Amino acid sequence: MTTPWPPKPDIVGPAPGIAITGATLTYDGAAVFAGVDLTLEAGRLSALLGPSGVGKTSLLRAIAGLETLEAGTVRASDGAPLAGRVAWMAQRDLLLPWADALSNVTLGARLRGEKPDAGRAEGLLARVGLAGKRRALPGTLSGGERQRVALARTLYEDKPVVLMDEPFSALDAITRARLQELAAEMLAGRTVLLITHDPWEACRIGEAVYVLSGRPATLGAPLVLDGAIPRAPDDEAALRAQGRLLARLEVGA
């Protein structure tokens, strides 16, 4: 039986589009990426792929305000600051080792001085397959379970903009597919940018897919996919899109 989605507050304002213009970043004198333009449509899930070390995480961090660009701008379509409207899920789970799963899920609320909604947090843990693990410390969980706690924490934040860096990388194939479906459902209406190394994942839940490649890295035109997400495993259009995406990745490798 499907665990019901727990009640939640309204999203903090409508999800804005985001325009990244002329983004340039240099490390140790070498340009990581230069002149990158990226438009994230409001309320849509976009995916970003590319070789390791090409700067995908740095670009995501720049959008989140965690990395300072040497040149370029990051602006929301409504003109308001993005600060306070972004939920961030890093590659590493970043769980507090001394806090149990429930406390890690509600960490943001507690840091803001808000009263945590334990019922909603427990419901999220159940949705990611961790019912009964609310009191488990991170050290007793597998890597995949820790990643699921981090996903529940991201969903708990309920922000209009969600940035996710390889959120399903530590999961087995079946759990990964289930959580892709959960993310597509729960993040509907948000502006989402997902980094992944999995072309099928991008084509299954992405509505626009970008490839960052080269030295310094540049961004090609998006591969736009139609239809509701998540797409079925045998969706012919998505499978054809995966083929086109693999061809792009091979050229950029």
Q: Hey, which bits of the chain come out as E strands?
A: 18-27, 30-40, 45-49, 71-76, 86-89, 161-165, 191-195, 208-213, 218-219, 223-224
- CB pairs under 8 A, 24+ apart, for 236-242? 238/200, 238/203, 238/204, 239/203, 241/203, 241/209, 242/199, 242/200, 242/203
Beta strand 161-165 pairing with 191-195: parallel
Predicted confidence at residue 214, as pLDDT, reads 86
The closest of 25, 22, 47 to 36, measured between CA atoms, is 22
Predicted confidence at residue 27, as pLDDT, reads 83
Q: pLDDT of 37-94, one tens digit each? A: 999 999 999 999 999 889 999 999 999 999 999 999 999 999 999 999 999 999 899 9
Identify whether the C-beta of residue 8 lies closer than 8 Å to the C-beta of residue 157: no
Bridge partners of residue 162, in order along the sequence: 87, 192
Q: Which two tokens mark 10?
A: 């309204």
216: preceding bond cis by omega (within 30 degrees): yes
Q: pLDDT of 154-191, one tens digit each? A: 999 999 999 999 999 889 999 999 999 999 999 999 99
CA angle 18, 180, 133 (to 5 degrees): 110
Q: Which two tokens mark 249?
A: 């990745």
Q: Which domains are delineated in the chain? A: 14-84+191-253 (3.40.50.300)
Whether this model's pTM surpasses 0.85 = yes
